[in-house]
Amino acid sequence: MEAWQGQLNANPAAPVDAFNAAVEDYNSRCSNFRYRIGTLEGVRSEVEANRAVLTKQGLVRAMGAIATATAPTTQSAPAIKTSFDCGKARSDAERLICSDVDLAAADVSLATLFATAKAGVVDQAAFKEHARVQWNYRERSCHDRDCLVQWYANQRQWLLAIVNGQPPASEVRDVDPSPVSNSE
């Protein structure tokens, strides 16, 4: 909220109504919360330890609201096509994909490649588990465009290897969800 408020102060065109709605939502969920003795200090400590990530998330939401509020109304922008319903986007990653033509194109391309790889893989359970772990990693860790670009590149590399017959399905569950290095 602090990051978003900073955007309001720095950008007079920022959508005050969207910020006020977010504050109202926050207050409705959090204002009556009662902390146990000592818990509030722990929460404050956790917030301080994660301030950079929280600030980045706030800025992503603020910029999304600013972009929506300042978009020209006389001409509708072309709809961005993704492999999922952007109307149901909940995470930072999904909102970023829905607002970026290149990420949306990567999403659609990856969905097609995913279907091809899934159809040809022998160990369906391992394939599905790996995909679940990777998707959870993206949802939990990707809060900016660079992270998503790297995530899509890693997933594309993994799926292409499967389509091309490598690695064997038994190795799929051992793949680390962290970004793959291209320094081979």
Q: Report which DSSP code applies to 61.
A: H
pLDDT at 115 over 70: yes
DSSP state of 81: P
Per-residue confidence band for 173, with pLDDT thresholds at 50, 70 and 90: very low
Residue 179 pLDDT > 60: no
Residue of 17 and 139 predicted with greater confidence? 139
Bigger pLDDT: 75 vs 18: 18
Q: How many other CB atoms are found less than 10 A from the CB of residue 27?
A: 10
Q: Please check the confidence at residue 131 and state whether its pLDDT lies above 80.
A: yes
Half-sphere exposure of 95 (CA within 13 A, CB side): 16
Q: Is the peptide bond before 167 cis (omega within 30 degrees of 0)?
A: yes
51 or 182: whose pLDDT is higher? 51
Residue 47 pLDDT > 50: yes
CA distance 109 to 56: 27
Q: pTM of this prediction?
A: 0.51
